């Protein structure tokens, strides 16, 4: 029997090789070990034998029953392998501390670890007192929905300004 689906909301399936756990708070020891791309399910395999809500059966030139190429439903973008660092950004001098990535960043975290100094951050140009981001002492900012891909510069308004940061980039498989 075929399922009826709305083409605006394709079904999502879990990766088939997940093991059941007996404790709901259990976290696997290696959450970043992704299965190889060939072992991940595709939308085409999940949607095989479905009927669209309009009653039409999806077709494709390849005869697989679903239009277009197969798309993986497993998204490596949602996993982060964080790299952390610290930098002294005082003496009113802008410093580039993070280069534009070769692939894509999927998370950026900044924390002003200074006791009294403000830290200014800028993307793609030198930071200054007019920069778009100003972090007061011990303030944290997390960028994970829309992540800037530019070089990152920092500027401190006092000699003792320090900044902690963490970032992750997507590894294409």
pLDDT of residue 31: 47
User: Does 151 lie in the same domain as 113?
Assistant: yes
Question: Which among 18, 48, 74 is the end of a domain?
Answer: 74
- The pLDDT, as a whole number, for residue 79 is 74
Last residue of a domain, one of 57, 74, 91: 74
Per-residue pLDDT at 104: 86
Q: How far apart are CA 50 and CA 1, in angstroms?
A: 9
The per-residue pLDDT for range 60-69, each reduced to its tens digit, is 555 555 555 5
pLDDT in the model for residue 53: 47
Give the CATH number for residue 104.
2.60.120.770
pLDDT tens, residue by residue, 49-60: 444 444 454 455
**pLDDT reading at 35 higher than 80:** no
| DSSP per-residue string spanning 32-80 | T-PPPGGGS-BHHHHHTTEEETTSPPP--TTSSSSSS---BS--GGG--
CA distance 153 to 151: 7
pLDDT-based confidence at residue 70 (cuts at 50, 70, 90)? low
Per the prediction, the chain carries an average pLDDT of: 74
* Domain total of the chain: 2
Quick one: how many helices (H) and strands (E) in the chain?
A: 1, 10
Is 62 in the same domain as 90? no
pLDDT per position as a tens digit, 93-120: 899 999 998 888 889 999 999 999 999 9
Average pLDDT over residues 74-99: 83
Alpha-carbon distances, residue 23 vs 20, 60, 95, 128 (angstroms): 9, 43, 47, 50
Q: Are residues 67 and 110 in the same domain?
A: no
Residue 33, pLDDT score: 54
At 131-151, the pLDDT tens digits run 999 999 999 999 988 899 999
Range of the domain at 155: 83-170
128 shares its domain with 89: yes
**In the listed set 47, 74, 101, which residue is the last one of a domain according to the structure?**
74
């Amino acid at each position: 029997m075929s399922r009826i689906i709305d083409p605006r909301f394709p079904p999502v399936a879990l990766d088939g090789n997940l093991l059941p756990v007996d404790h709901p708070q259990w976290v696997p020891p290696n959450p970043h070990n992704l299965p190889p791309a060939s072992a991940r399910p595709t939308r085409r395999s999940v949607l095989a034998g479905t009927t669209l809500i309009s009653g039409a059966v999806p077709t494709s030139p390849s005869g697989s029953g679903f239009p277009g190429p197969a798309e993986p439903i497993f998204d490596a973008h949602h996993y982060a392998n964080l790299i952390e660092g610290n930098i002294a950004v005082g003496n009113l001098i802008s410093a580039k501390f993070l280069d534009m990535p070769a692939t894509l960043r999927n998370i950026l975290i900044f924390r002003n670890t200074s006791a009294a100094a403000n830290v200014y951050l800028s993307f793609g140009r030198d930071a200054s007192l007019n920069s778009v981001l100003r972090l007061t002492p011990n303030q944290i900012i997390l960028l994970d929905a829309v992540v800037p891909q530019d070089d990152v510069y920092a500027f401190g308004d006092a000699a003792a300004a320090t900044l902690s940061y963490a970032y992750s980039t997507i590894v294409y498989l």
